[in-house]
Amino acid sequence: MHYLLVGNYGTGNFGDEALKEYFLSAFPEAKFRVLSAHPKEGKLPRLPAGIRSFFLAHWWRTLAALWKSDGLVFGGGTLFTDTESVYACLLWWWHAFVCWLLGKPFFLAFQGIGPFRTRAGEWFARWAIAHAAFVSVRDAASFQRVNLWRKNTNIIQTCDPVFSLFTAQKRDTSSQKLLVIIPRKNSPSSFSERAVQLWKSGTWQAVRILSLQPDDPQEREVCHSIAHVLSQPDSVIVPVRSVGALCRSVGQADFVFSQRYHGALAALALGVPFEVVPQGEGDKLASLSGMSSSGIAALLADGERQLKSALFPELRVSAKIQS
């Protein structure tokens, strides 16, 4: 089976690149072509959702590949939310709409849906959910939201699949009492204030600030600002570009303070106590509180099984014949 795989890939965000790594390794039965914001090494550009991308991107190659494929997989992440911009919902809806025009199925896999600030953003998401061949969501808030839209239809509640990449890593405990802080590029001043409170509690001997989008100027500025208010040198800032690098830093921590979903998820997978600051009420970060590693592993196994059944119907038929 040949599928296109789309997500917020190619933007330098650790979480999205980890999701891509997961899909390419977890589903060897599929021959994926990856759509990227900045395509390199055989990847394809995303479909244009603006005048600039329409004229500059070689999107006709993507359209041709979609026509020849068995469908398109939206590979994880919180794609359909307008928390930062309604343009994101428009972009992903456009990919779904083109699939619908071409008669190609699309699959929403391990998705975070919402929250929404605008009616337009919610409408784009509702349309995609209504027309998808398969929907699985990675958190309870998304599950509740989507079930209100698509009643009497099988919606799968699973979890973020990058969890499996984290559990494959070993924890390397530090000899120091280490506090790890993981901000976002738009972390508010209240995040820095709480970081100061934790650092000044006297519990920790060392602090480390992890940047999961290290090439973004705004995130670099936030990290430097936090280091400054903690009276620490810039050397405590650690750029993270791989699963192994994140797990090494988180695994050495005694406590993780994060506004990054995958930072908190790594702490949960490695058994490190953590505290999160959600971006908004009912978002994916809030859903991690109270979750257990065993519970997440069970949700992930079910999500993988049902996605494979949807993507590879021939395996489903083969299983029935063998039984």
| Model pLDDT, residue 56 | 60
Across the range 290-303, mean pLDDT stands at: 91
In this structure, the answer to whether residues 153 and 13 fall within a common structural domain is yes
Short-list 155, 114, 115, CA closest to 132: 155
Helix (H) or strand (E) run with residue 200 in it: none
| CA separation for the pair 69, 48 (Å, rounded) | 19
Mean pLDDT of the chain: 91
Contact 129, 111 (CB under 8 A): no
Contact 155, 136 (CB under 8 A): yes
Contact 280, 174 (CB under 8 A): no
138-161 per-position pLDDT tens digit: 998 899 999 988 766 789 999 999
In this structure, the answer to whether residues 151 and 18 fall within a common structural domain is yes
In this structure, the answer to whether residues 64 and 177 fall within a common structural domain is no
Q: What CATH number has the domain bearing residue 8?
A: 3.40.50
Instruction: Identify the three-state secondary structure at position 78.
Output: strand
In this structure, the answer to whether residues 182 and 253 fall within a common structural domain is yes
Specify the DSSP class assigned to residue 170: P
In this structure, the answer to whether residues 144 and 240 fall within a common structural domain is no
In this structure, the answer to whether residues 11 and 125 fall within a common structural domain is yes
With pLDDT > 90 as the criterion, what percentage of the chain qualifies?
78
| Model pLDDT, residue 292 | 87
Q: Give the amino acid at 7.
A: G
Residue 323: is its pLDDT beyond 50? no
In this structure, the answer to whether residues 146 and 78 fall within a common structural domain is yes
pLDDT band per the 50, 70, 90 thresholds, residue 119: very high
| CA separation for the pair 190, 187 (Å, rounded) | 8
In this structure, the answer to whether residues 306 and 284 fall within a common structural domain is no
Across the range 106-134, mean pLDDT stands at: 96
Residue 320: is its pLDDT beyond 60? no
27-57 per-position pLDDT tens digit: 998 999 999 999 988 899 999 876 555 556 5
Write the burial class of residue 225 (CB in 10 Å: 0-12 exposed, 13-18 middle, 19+ buried).
Answer: middle
Residue 251: is its pLDDT beyond 60? yes
277-294 per-position pLDDT tens digit: 887 666 677 777 778 889
In this structure, the answer to whether residues 153 and 301 fall within a common structural domain is yes
Q: What CATH number has the domain bearing residue 191?
A: 3.40.50.1980
In this structure, the answer to whether residues 300 and 286 fall within a common structural domain is no
Q: Could you tell me the residue range of the domain that residue 139 belongs to?
A: 2-160+296-322
Instruction: Supply the angle between the helices 86-102 and 119-131 in degrees, to the nearest 10.
Output: 30
**pTM for this one?**
0.90
In this structure, the answer to whether residues 151 and 173 fall within a common structural domain is no
In this structure, the answer to whether residues 182 and 254 fall within a common structural domain is yes
Strands 178-182 and 106-113, bridge-based pairing: unpaired
| Model pLDDT, residue 290 | 75
pLDDT band per the 50, 70, 90 thresholds, residue 315: low
Residue 61: is its pLDDT beyond 70? yes
How many domains, the chain?
2
Across the range 244-264, mean pLDDT stands at: 95
What contacts 198, CB < 8 A, 6 or more positions away?
A: 179, 181, 204, 255, 257, 275
Q: What does the block give as tokens for 47? A: 């479909």
| CA separation for the pair 264, 25 (Å, rounded) | 23
Residue 318: is its pLDDT beyond 70? no
| Model pLDDT, residue 74 | 98
| Model pLDDT, residue 168 | 87
